[in-house]
Amino acid sequence: MYAQRPSFYREKYINIYDIKLYTLANTLVELPYLATSSLFFLVPYFFLNKFDEVGVVAEQFFLYFAYVALYTGVIVFMGHFSSTLFPSEPVSTIYTGQQQRELCINICLSIYHHAPHIILLTLQ
Amino acid sequence: MLQVIGAGSTQSSTVDFHEFYKGSSLSDSNKIVVSAYCTLDESKEHEAVVDTKKTVVKYYASYSSQFRYLMIRALKTYWRSPSYNFVRMIVNLLVALLFSSAYATQSYETDVQIISRVGLIYVTTFFLGTCLLSMRLLT
């Protein structure tokens, strides 16, 4: 992201493209990688932990897949956001250290609060 | 080319590539091509800049072609940075195997085991998030 900056400023100055389209392309290109990397995580994880022993397996698998993919998406696009927002890499590192770990903790805690209800509901 | 750069046999190169290029024949031929493109052709109107209503258009290319070329470039950029993309997938695989190795022999029946699964979901979510964040910044 930082390596692309000089060329981005040059191209923006001579009006080659709209910035919206640049952002859209960089966002869309991330999506297949997100899906495959969350599948790499989910396939061994889901079946080794015996999540497939109760309930409807396909429904649970795709719900958990949606959860992992969306969560990774939030993390990655927050990374994009911070690396476009700040002028240099160290500043962006400090920002991520402060803010995004909190984001992680918040998402994880909300899962921790809600997951028992969801799992107990599927068991009944 | 390989003789000039030393083919990686030494750690650092003493050749100043900028000066070397300026003196080379490739530079001369490139200069001729560039100056041929830079001469202004007065006979042609710049039609792309002005549309039919004679209002100034901001971009030379249409939105669809802009988007197409940006997409191609972004795909190439991602494909050519395997240190980020494929290492990320391997790390995901390793995290999954590491955390599920603790639960592989357990059954999934009692309340306590269910609660421990919830703890597993919490820990893996957190671990994956921090891993991805630090890797995102390394690139």
pLDDT at residue B10 tops 70? no
Average pLDDT over residues A80-109: 75
Average pLDDT over residues B38-52: 59
* B21 and B66, same domain (yes or no): no
What is the percent of chain A with per-residue pLDDT over 70, rounded to a whole number? 84
* B72 and B96, same domain (yes or no): yes
Are B63 and A21 in contact by the 8 Å Cβ rule? The answer is yes
**Of A66 and B53, the one with more pLDDT:** A66
Considering only B57-66, B95-104, B121-130, which range has the smallest mean pLDDT?
B57-66
Q: How far is CA B128 from CA A83, B56, B58, in A?
A: 20, 49, 43
**In this predicted structure, what is the pLDDT of residue A80?**
83
The runs of H, that is alpha helices, within A14-100 are 19-28, 30-48, 57-85, 89-95
* B21 and B47, same domain (yes or no): no
Range of the domain at B114: 40-138
Backbone angles phi, psi at B57, to 5 degrees: -90, 140
* B50 and B104, same domain (yes or no): yes
B122 closest CB neighbour out of A76, A96, A112: A112
Considering only A54-68, B36-50, B102-116, which range has the smallest mean pLDDT?
B36-50
* B66 and B100, same domain (yes or no): yes
* B56 and B44, same domain (yes or no): yes
Virtual torsion, Cα A112, A113, A118, A120, nearest 10 deg: 90
The two tokens of residue B41 are: 């052709």
Q: How far is CA B69 from CA A32, A88, B64, B75, B138, in A?
A: 18, 27, 9, 10, 27
Indicate which of A37, A119, A123 best probes the interface with B, i.e. most B CBs within 10 Å of its own CB.
A37
Which of B:92-121 have CB within 8 Å of A?
92-93, 95-97, 99-101, 103-104, 106-108, 114-115, 117-118, 120-121
ipTM for the complex shown:
0.74
* B35 and B46, same domain (yes or no): no
Which of A:65-94 have CB within 8 Å of B?
68, 71-72, 75-76, 78-79, 83, 89, 92-93
Range of the domain at A79: 5-123
pLDDT at residue A117 tops 80? no
**In this predicted structure, what is the pLDDT of residue A120?**
62
**Number of domains forming the structure of chain B:** 2
Question: Which residues from A are below 8 Å from B58, CB to CB?
Answer: 15
Average pLDDT over residues B5-15: 60
**In this predicted structure, what is the pLDDT of residue B139?**
52
Average pLDDT over residues A54-70: 85
* B45 and B108, same domain (yes or no): yes
**In this predicted structure, what is the pLDDT of residue A11?**
85
Mean of all residue pLDDT scores within chain A: 80
pTM score: 0.68
